[in-house]
Structure 1
Amino acid sequence: MGRVIQFEERAVAHLRERLGAAQEANEDLIAFARGHSGAVSSIHEAVLAAMEAESFEGLLHVVTQEWPLILGLDAVALALVVGDQGFRADGNGVQHVDPQILARTIDQIEAVDLRTVGRGHPLFGPACDLIRAEALIRIDCDPPLPTGLLVIGQRTELSLDARHGSELLMFLGRSLAAMIRRCVINPTQKA
Structure 2
Amino acid sequence: MATVIPFEERAVAHLRDRLGAVEEANQDLLAFARGHSGAVSSIHTAVLAAIEAEGVDGLLHVVTQEWPLILGIDAVALSLIVGDRGFRADGSGVQFVDPQILRRAISQVDGVEMRTVDRGHPLFGPACDLIRAEALVRIQCEPPLPVGLLALGQRQALSLDARHGSELLMFLGRSLAAMIRKWLTNPES
Tell me by how many angstroms 1:159 deviates: 3.2
Question: Where does residue 167 of structure 2 map in the other structure?
Answer: 167
- Which aligned pairs between 1:121-132 and structure 2 lie closer than 5 A? 121-132=121-132
- Secondary structure of 2:188's aligned partner: coil
| Greater RCO, CA 8 A, separation 6+ | 1
- Secondary structure of 2:160's aligned partner: coil
Question: Where does residue 11 of structure 1 map in the other structure?
Answer: 11
Question: Where does residue 101 of structure 1 map in the other structure?
Answer: 101
TM-score (norm 1): 0.98
Structure 2 residue runs without a partner (length 5+): none
- Which aligned pairs between 1:1-191 and structure 2 lie closer than 5 A? 1-189=1-189
Runs of 4+ in structure 1 deviating by more than 6 angstroms, as ranges, are none
Give the paired residue count: 189
Bigger shift: 31-40 or 156-165? 156-165
- Secondary structure of 1:101's aligned partner: helix
Q: Structure 1 vs Structure 2: percent identity of aligned residues? A: 78
CA–CA distance in structure 2, aligned partners of residues 118 and 108 of structure 1: 18
Task: Write the deviation string for residues 7-60 of structure 1: whole angstroms up to 9, x where unpaired.
Answer: 000000000000000000000000000000000000000000000011000000
CA–CA distance in structure 2, aligned partners of residues 158 and 170 of structure 1: 19
CA–CA distance in structure 1, aligned partners of residues 177 and 115 of structure 2: 22
Q: Which amino acid aligns with 1:14?
A: H
- Secondary structure of 1:127's aligned partner: helix
Task: Write the deviation string for residues 79-101 of structure 1: whole angstroms up to 9, x where unpaired.
Answer: 00001000000000000001011
Q: Which amino acid aligns with 2:20?
A: G
Structure 1 residue runs without a partner (length 5+): none
